């Protein structure tokens, strides 16, 4: 008896699995056979994965994507990977097991995200990247990013203008594993290095973090008391740097990148001098719209690599900026 059940049980389970597999096969077979989203089986779930909403930029990104998806009739699952590729990989697995219709992803690493996105693709789930690119094409359906190089060029020009083309400055860079950290830094230097009298006396990574930017700026100011300006790779670091500048009672030009509401209000109060606005909400909405079109038609409506231009925010236009968008631009 025991022996028999020992044989029958695995057979039975295999049979159940086979039926289940057939079921899902035939289910998708009724749809468009060529549709890459067939595996999703008519799911109405859109999974949105971003870095920690701790940074208002990602919060805006999440909110805009979720709102747009709901508007188009999707359920949403909003997750945060906290810039940890392992956590991101697990979240993509969640999306696969929940048979999501599409994934909207602001990824955790240009290289370390590729495998997970490929896994989703193999499972028939299209991924739409926002804000950050990955180092491979043909894996995600779309990579919609703000033009960081162009934006950093704008920021660099404004910074050079504010500095009057000369003097010592420091740079706070983002997390080194994030492509944007490098792209922005290169963008800044593409402009700043053309001024022979602009001298970078310190360059430190503050890992996109406000508190780290604060302490590192304080220490940098100790080493280089004549610093006239600080250019930061994002707004949270600019805020941290500005807190240090204020605490030191100095007049130092601080320029950020992102266009976050906190920095915009600081600009209006003559604190931080300028930032570069990334159209975060617009990018999220574009990604959701394209995901929707893809789910319905089975093909991409736009080329994979898309970039949206950034806008410089300074005291002249800061008033018209709300939630990562400049009115009338």
Partner 1 sequence: MTDTTVAPPAPAPAEAPPGNQALAKAALLLLRGRTLVVLVVLVAFFSAISPEYLTQSNLILMTKHVAINAILAIGVTFVILTGGIDLSVGSIAGLASMVSGGLLFTGLALPGGTVFFSVAVVILIGIVVGALVGAVNGLLVTRFKVAPFIATLGMLYVARGVAQLRSDGGTFPDLAGTPERGNQGFHVIGVDSLLGIPVAVWIMAAVAAAAIVVTTRTPFGRRVYAVGGNERAAVLSGIRVNRVKIAVYVISGACAALAGLLLTSELGAAYPDTATTYELNAIAAAVLGGTALAGGRGTIIGTVMGAFVIGFLSDGLVLVGVSTFWQSVVKGAVIVFAVITEQAQQRLQSGLAKRTA
Which residues of the shown chain bind partner 1 in the complex (CB under 8 A)? 52-56, 59, 80, 176, 202-205, 207, 209-211, 214-216, 218-220, 222-225, 239-240, 243, 246-247, 261-262, 265
Q: How far is the CB of 79 from partner 1 (least distance, A)?
A: 12
Q: Is the dihedral of CA 151, 104, 102, 290 positive or negative?
A: negative
CA dihedral 127, 128, 130, 136 (to 10 degrees): 70
Q: How far is the CB of 84 from partner 1 (least distance, A)?
A: 12
C-alpha distance from residue 134 to each of 95, 142, 145, 188 (Å) = 19, 11, 11, 21
Q: How far is the CB of 216 from partner 1 (least distance, A)?
A: 5
Q: How far is the CB of 100 from partner 1 (least distance, A)?
A: 21
Q: How far is the CB of 38 from partner 1 (least distance, A)?
A: 35
Q: How far is the CB of 203 from partner 1 (least distance, A)?
A: 7
Nearer Cβ to partner 1 (56/253): 56
- Please, are residues 46 and 76 in contact by the beta-carbon 8 Å criterion? yes
- Please, are residues 60 and 323 in contact by the beta-carbon 8 Å criterion? yes
Nearer Cβ to partner 1 (57/294): 57
C-alpha distance from residue 151 to each of 184, 185, 307, 308 (Å) = 8, 11, 11, 10
Q: How far is the CB of 251 from partner 1 (least distance, A)?
A: 17
Nearer Cβ to partner 1 (108/239): 239
Contacts 24+ apart (CB under 8 A), 114-121: 114/139, 115/89, 116/85, 116/88, 116/89, 116/92, 117/92, 119/89, 119/92, 119/93, 120/92, 120/95, 120/96, 121/36
Residue among 92, 72, 76 nearest 134 (CA): 92
Q: How far is the CB of 238 from partner 1 (least distance, A)?
A: 12
Beta bridge partners of 130: 144
Nearer Cβ to partner 1 (21/223): 223
Six token digits for residue 188: 């800044």
End-to-end CA distance of the chain: 77
- Please, are residues 318 and 267 in contact by the beta-carbon 8 Å criterion? yes
C-alpha distance from residue 304 to each of 128, 201, 261 (Å) = 9, 39, 30
């Amino acid at each position: 008896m025991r022996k028999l059940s020992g044989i029958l049980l695995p057979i039975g389970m295999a049979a159940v699995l086979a039926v289940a597999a057939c079921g899902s096969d035939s289910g998708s077979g009724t749809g468009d056979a060529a549709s890459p989203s067939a595996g999703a089986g008519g799911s109405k779930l859109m999974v949105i994965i971003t870095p920690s909403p701790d940074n208002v930029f990602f919060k805006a990104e999440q909110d805009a994507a979720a709102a747009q998806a709901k508007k188009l009739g999707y359920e949403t699952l909003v997750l945060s990977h906290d810039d940890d590729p392992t956590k991101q990989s697990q979240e993509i697995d969640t999306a696969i097991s929940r048979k999501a219709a599409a994934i909207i992803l602001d990824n955790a690493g240009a290289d370390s995200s590729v495998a997970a996105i490929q896994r989703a693709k193999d499972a028939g789930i299209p991924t739409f990247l926002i804000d950050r690119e990955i180092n491979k094409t043909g894996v995600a359906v779309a990579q919609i990013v703000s033009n960081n190089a162009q934006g950093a060029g704008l920021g660099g020009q404004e910074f050079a203008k504010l500095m009057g083309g000369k003097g010592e400055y420091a740079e706070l860079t983002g997390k080194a594993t994030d492509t944007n950290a490098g792209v922005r830094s290169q963008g800044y230097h593409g402009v700043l290095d053309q001024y022979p009298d602009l001298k970078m006396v310190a360059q430190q990574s503050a890992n996109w973090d406000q508190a780290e930017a604060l302490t590192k700026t304080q220490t940098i100011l100790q080493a280089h008391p004549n610093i006239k300006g600080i250019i930061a790779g994002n707004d949270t670091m600019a805020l941290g740097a500005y807190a240090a500048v204020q605490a030191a009672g100095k007049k130092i030009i601080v320029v950020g990148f992102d266009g976050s509401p906190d920095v915009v209000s600081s600009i209006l109060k003559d604190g931080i001098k300028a930032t570069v606005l990334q159209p975060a909400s617009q990018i999220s909405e574009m990604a959701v719209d394209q995901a929707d079109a893809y789910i319905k038609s089975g093909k991409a409506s736009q080329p994979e690599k898309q970039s949206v231009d950034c806008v410089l925010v300074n005291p002249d236009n800061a008033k018209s900026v709300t939630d990562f968008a400049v009115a009338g631009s």
